[in-house]
């Protein structure tokens, strides 16, 4: 006797159609699954997260703050920030005191899993600007990759592979920076924000003065006079302001000492589009290398 479905083609077609519908339904459920939403606190963390996540399927990366916000010193969460965090799964922060609002964020969104990129990294005087050195950026990238792999083990291999590729690029950059800067004889500089101790330590520069400890906090007349004395006493040939923190102080010091002001970028702002943002840190450091070479070679 022939099998039931062979004898009755109509039922065979029904069974086949039912199977396809079930398969498509299951695929639709998988396809429509909610993505893993990864939110970075500010631009440097956003850039690292983009490079670690790469094209991992089902994972979205966004920046909580605008890409022109800069460092989060004394930053206050906005209703929009809280809404973003409430719908996020993972929050990537620099830590080390940069985001003083982390406890509030977790309290508002207790489901949120937090990755602190600075975890386990030795701080210089409590300064949180670890990523400004390439070595620090590499350590923080590794921490982010490890954190995401622990939270989302299904994609651990993807995070690890993406991080390895980005770390290889950063290592090439680090070596190129050393090859260009290690031979400089003049190494004394003055900066206009306390963001560069890790960078200076990595490339053997000596910061003899910081004009503005925090952005938006103009130095007093006495502090400016002291800085001018430092420039003259140490024969400093390079003053470095930041593109994010324009300052009248730089012009005053330049006018009084004749020392030109150059730009040194802590890589805290940049393009928001992922394709451009992924490379923004490397491009900022390459520009820093050229700015330092120009300023100190001409001294």
For residues 71-92, give the mean pLDDT: 94
More confident residue, 204 or 219: 204
Q: Residues 122, 197: one domain?
A: no
- The answer to whether residue 123 sits within a structural domain is yes
Q: Residues 167, 203: one domain?
A: no
Q: What is the pLDDT of residue 217?
A: 65
* Domain-terminating residue out of 175, 201, 236: 175
Characterise 269 by phi-psi region: left (phi > 0), alpha (psi -120 to 50), beta (else): beta
Give the range with max mean pLDDT: 245-249, 271-275, 294-298.
271-275
- The answer to whether residue 209 sits within a structural domain is yes
Instruction: Please report which confidence band the pLDDT of residue 18 belongs to, taking 50, 70 and 90 as the band edges.
Output: very low
Sign of CA dihedral 158, 169, 194, 260: negative
Q: Residues 45, 155: one domain?
A: yes
Q: Residues 58, 169: one domain?
A: yes
Q: What is the pLDDT of residue 41?
A: 97
Characterise 74 by phi-psi region: left (phi > 0), alpha (psi -120 to 50), beta (else): left
Which residues, in sequence order, are CB contacts of 184 under 8 Å at separation 6+?
292, 293, 296, 297
Q: What is the pLDDT of residue 213?
A: 62
Pairing mode, strands 188-191 and 113-116: unpaired
The span from the CA of 123 to the CA of 24, in Å, is 53
Secondary structure E strands in 27-171: 36-40, 59-63, 90-93, 113-116
74-88, 198-212, 235-249, 258-272: which range is least confident on average? 235-249
Give the range with max mean pLDDT: 16-25, 183-192, 279-288.
279-288
Q: Residues 41, 118: one domain?
A: yes
The number of domains in the chain is 2
- The answer to whether residue 16 sits within a structural domain is no
Q: Residues 102, 205: one domain?
A: no
- What six digits make up the tokens of 65? 């703050």
Question: For a pLDDT cut of 90, what percent of the chain falls above it?
Answer: 69
- The answer to whether residue 2 sits within a structural domain is no
For residues 200-207, give the mean pLDDT: 96
- The answer to whether residue 19 sits within a structural domain is no
| Mean predicted lDDT score pLDDT of the chain | 87
* Domain-terminating residue out of 136, 160, 175: 175
Q: What is the pLDDT of residue 68?
A: 85
- The answer to whether residue 10 sits within a structural domain is no
Bridge partners of residue 91, in order along the sequence: 39, 114
- The CATH number that applies at residue 259 is 3.40.50.1980
Q: Residues 157, 103: one domain?
A: yes
- The answer to whether residue 156 sits within a structural domain is yes
The range of the structural domain enclosing residue 254 comes to 179-297
Q: Residues 263, 171: one domain?
A: no
Q: Residues 264, 140: one domain?
A: no
Q: What is the pLDDT of residues 186-202, one digit of tens each?
A: 999 999 888 999 999 99
The span from the CA of 124 to the CA of 104, in Å, is 26
- The answer to whether residue 140 sits within a structural domain is yes
Q: What is the pLDDT of residue 31?
A: 42
Residue with the two structure tokens 């970028």: 265
For residues 90-104, give the mean pLDDT: 95
* Domain-terminating residue out of 175, 191, 217: 175
147-151, 161-165, 236-240, 286-290: which range is least confident on average? 236-240
Sign of CA dihedral 215, 106, 137, 39: negative
Q: How many other C-beta atoms are found inside a 10 Å radius of the C-beta of residue 190?
A: 24
């Amino acid at each position: 006797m022939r099998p039931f479905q062979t004898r009755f083609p109509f039922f065979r077609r029904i069974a086949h159609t039912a199977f396809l519908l079930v398969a498509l339904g299951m695929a639709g459920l998988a396809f429509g699954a909610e993505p893993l939403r990864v939110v970075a606190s500010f631009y440097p963390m956003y850039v690292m997260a983009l490079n670690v996540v790469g094209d991992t399927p089902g994972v979205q990366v966004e920046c909580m703050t605008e890409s022109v916000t800069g460092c989060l010193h004394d930053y206050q969460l906005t209703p929009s920030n809280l809404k973003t965090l409430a719908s996020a799964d993972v929050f990537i922060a620099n830590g080390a005191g940069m985001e003083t609002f982390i406890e509030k964020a977790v309290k508002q969104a207790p489901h949120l899993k937090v990755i602190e990129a600075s975890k386990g990294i030795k701080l210089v005087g409590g300064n949180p600007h670890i990523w400004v050195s390439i070595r620090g950026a590499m350590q923080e990238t590794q921490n982010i990759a490890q954190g995401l792999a622990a939270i989302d083990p299904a994609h651990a291999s993807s995070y690890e592979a993406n991080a390895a590729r980005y770390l290889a690029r950063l290592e090439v950059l680090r070596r190129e920076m050393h090859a260009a800067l290690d031979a400089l004889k003049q190494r004394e500089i003055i900066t206009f924000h306390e963001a560069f101790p890790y960078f200076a330590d990595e490339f053997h520069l000596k910061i003899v003065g910081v004009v503005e400890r925090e952005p938006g906090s103009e130095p007093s007349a006495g502090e400016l006079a002291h800085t001018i004395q430092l420039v003259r006493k140490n024969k400093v040939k390079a003053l470095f302001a930041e593109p994010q923190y324009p300052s009248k102080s730089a012009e005053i010091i330049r006018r009084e000492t004749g020392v030109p002001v150059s730009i040194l970028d802590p890589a805290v702002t940049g393009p928001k589009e992922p394709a451009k943002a992924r490379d923004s840190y490397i491009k900022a450091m390459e520009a820093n290398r050229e700015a330092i070479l120009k300023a100190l070679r001409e001294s």
